[in-house]
Structures are given as structure tokens and as C-alpha cells.
């Protein structure tokens, strides 16, 4: 066997061993009385964050207990579903299937709920060093953003959950700028009052709006992330 192929096979076999002699970790979440028994090998395979927490000399590794602050049950279960299936649900297809069966207020509620799930999942992946999951969540988020105008509650959540300058904040701002330029009736006094309480949002929004209106932005075809052919500016490096 060629040396390169031999090394490849050895690495493959090495990666399977933790799953053959696996332990379970008890995971607890903020604001939840429930706990989860989760495969240690699966968590460690997902991120170096969990490798360090569970294989090092930390208390978590010794007691096989892991606390995830800032993570709610819905986000954690979506994360485990992603690990089990290698992908997230097709939010766009599910939304379109449900759309025909709901009235306008229900459609808005479903759309907002899906977007908020994805923002929380993106934030969780960012905090726990999982760029592939961040990008998977972002792709679904952008697909959904093209269907309805984003609610102020969704933009507010993105600013609450993510850091200044993050790809998620930039996507939210750019989508709101595009919506403002095309369906400005949605952006009434109440919207500006709501968003005025979100630190930095109106500053980022005004800066991006001024650039787009003055044609000084670097968007080649559209200011809308959901309509861009190349959405790489909203993805994070995976290696």
C-alpha cells in the first residue's frame, strides 16, 4: 500500500475508535430543568471546544458533565439533529409547504420562528467553534430572508446573540437595507422606535443604507444577501 493511502487508512481507523469505546456525557442547559445524555465521541468529533472541555483536566471531563450557558433546549436539539443527520432540515421547503395552509399572521409567526432558530443556532456554533454549522445555518437563514420582510424582533435577536461585525449582523443589516429601499412602508415609526433600543443597529443600518444609496457599497448586483449569487461574504472560514 502506498504510504499516503496507508496513512489515510490509519487516520480513518483512528477516528472510529472513540465511537467503539464511547462514554455518555450529561448536558445541562440554562433555564431548563431537563438534562441530556449525549455521546461524548459525537460531541468531540463536532468541535475542538468539546475535546478540550471533556478530555482535559477540567471538572467537566472528570465528572462527564457539561453545562452550556446561553443555549436553550430548542437550539441544542437542533444541534444534535444536525450531528445525527449531517445537515439541518430544509427550512425553505418546510416553510413553503406550511405557507399555503396558514393565514398571514401564522405565516409571519412561522417565518420569524424559523429565522430566530437559525440565528440562535449560528450563535451557538460561533461560541463552540463549529464554522461548518455556522455556514449551514446562514445558508438557510438567507434562503428564508427572501420570502418576507424581516421583523424587528428578529433583527433585535441577531444583535443580542452575536458580536459586533459578525457575519450574521451584516446579513441582517443588509437584508433590512434592501427591504427599506424596496418596501419602505414596513419601516414605520414603531419599527425605528423598536430598533432604536438595539445598541448599534441603527448606526450600522444608516451606514449601510448611505453606501447603497450612494452606490459606494461593494455589492455588485444587489444589496440583498438573500438574492446574491455569491453569498460567500456572509460565510465564515471553515479551516
Report DSSP letters for the chain, one per residue.
Answer: --HHHHHHHHHHHHHHHHHHT--EEEEEETT-S-EEEEEHHHHHHH-HHHHHHHHSSSHHHHHTEEEETT--HHHHHHHHHHHHHSS---HHHHHHHHHTTS-HHHHHHHHHHHHHHHHHHHHHHHHTT-HHHHHHHHHHHHHHHTTSPPPHHHHHHHHHHS-TT-HHHHHHHHHHHHHHHH-GGG--HHHHHHHHTSTTHHHHHHHHHHHHHTT-S--SS-S-GGG-S--GGGS----
pLDDT of residue 177: 93
Residue 19 located in a structural domain: no
Residues 199-210: tens digit of each pLDDT = 999 999 999 999
Mean pLDDT of 111-119: 96
Residue 213 located in a structural domain: yes
Percentage of the chain exceeding pLDDT 90? 59
Mean pLDDT of 33-59: 89
- Of 5-19, 85-99, 120-134, 159-173, where does mean pLDDT reach its minimum? 5-19
Percentage of the chain exceeding pLDDT 70? 90
Residue 121 located in a structural domain: no
Residue 25 located in a structural domain: no
Comparing 104 with 80, the larger pLDDT belongs to 80
Confidence class for position 239, pLDDT limits 50, 70, 90: confident
Residue 168 located in a structural domain: yes
Count of structural domains, the chain? 1
pLDDT of residue 22: 78
pLDDT of residue 160: 96
Full residue range of the structural domain in which residue 215 is found: 150-224
Does residue 71 register a pLDDT over 70? Answer: yes
Residue 85 located in a structural domain: no
Residue 165 located in a structural domain: yes
Mean pLDDT of 136-165: 94
Residue 174 located in a structural domain: yes
- Of 116-125, 169-178, 208-217, where does mean pLDDT reach its minimum? 208-217
Does residue 137 register a pLDDT over 90? Answer: yes
Mean pLDDT of 103-113: 87
pTM (2 decimals)?
0.88
Q: Which position has the grid cell 430543568?
A: 33
Amino acid at each position: 500500500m502506498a504510504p499516503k493511502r496507508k496513512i489515510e487508512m490509519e487516520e480513518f481507523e483512528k477516528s472510529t475508535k472513540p465511537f467503539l469505546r464511547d462514554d455518555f456525557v450529561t448536558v445541562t442547559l440554562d433555564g431548563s430543568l431537563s438534562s441530556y445524555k449525549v455521546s461524548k465521541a459525537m460531541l468531540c468529533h463536532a468541535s475542538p471546544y468539546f475535546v478540550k472541555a471533556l478530555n482535559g483536566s477540567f471538572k467537566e471531563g472528570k465528572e462527564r458533565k457539561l453545562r452550556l450557558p446561553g443555549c436553550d433546549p430548542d437550539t441544542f436539539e437542533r444541534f444534535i439533529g444536525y450531528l445525527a443527520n449531517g445537515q439541518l432540515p430544509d427550512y425553505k421547503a418546510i416553510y413553503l409547504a406550511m405557507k399555503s395552509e396558514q393565514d398571514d399572521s401564522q405565516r409571519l409567526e412561522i417565518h420569524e420562528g424559523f429565522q430566530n432558530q437559525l440565528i440562535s443556532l449560528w450563535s451557538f456554533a460561533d461560541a463552540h467553534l463549529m464554522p461548518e454549522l455556522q455556514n449551514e445555518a446562514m445558508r438557510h437563514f438567507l434562503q428564508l430572508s427572501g420570502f418576507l420582510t424581516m421583523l424587528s424582533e428578529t433583527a433585535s435577536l441577531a444583535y443580542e446573540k452575536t458580536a459586533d461585525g459578525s457575519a450574521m449582523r451584516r446579513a441582517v443589516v443588509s437584508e433590512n437595507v434592501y427591504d427599506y429601499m424596496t418596501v419602505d412602508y414596513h419601516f414605520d415609526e414603531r419599527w425605528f422606535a423598536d430598533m432604536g433600543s438595539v445598541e448599534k443597529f441603527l448606526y450600522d443600518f444608516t451606514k449601510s443604507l448611505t453606501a447603497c444609496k450612494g452606490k459606494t457599497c461593494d455589492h455588485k448586483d444587489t444589496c440583498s444577501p438573500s438574492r446574491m449569487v455569491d453569498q460567500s461574504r456572509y460565510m465564515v472560514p471553515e479551516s
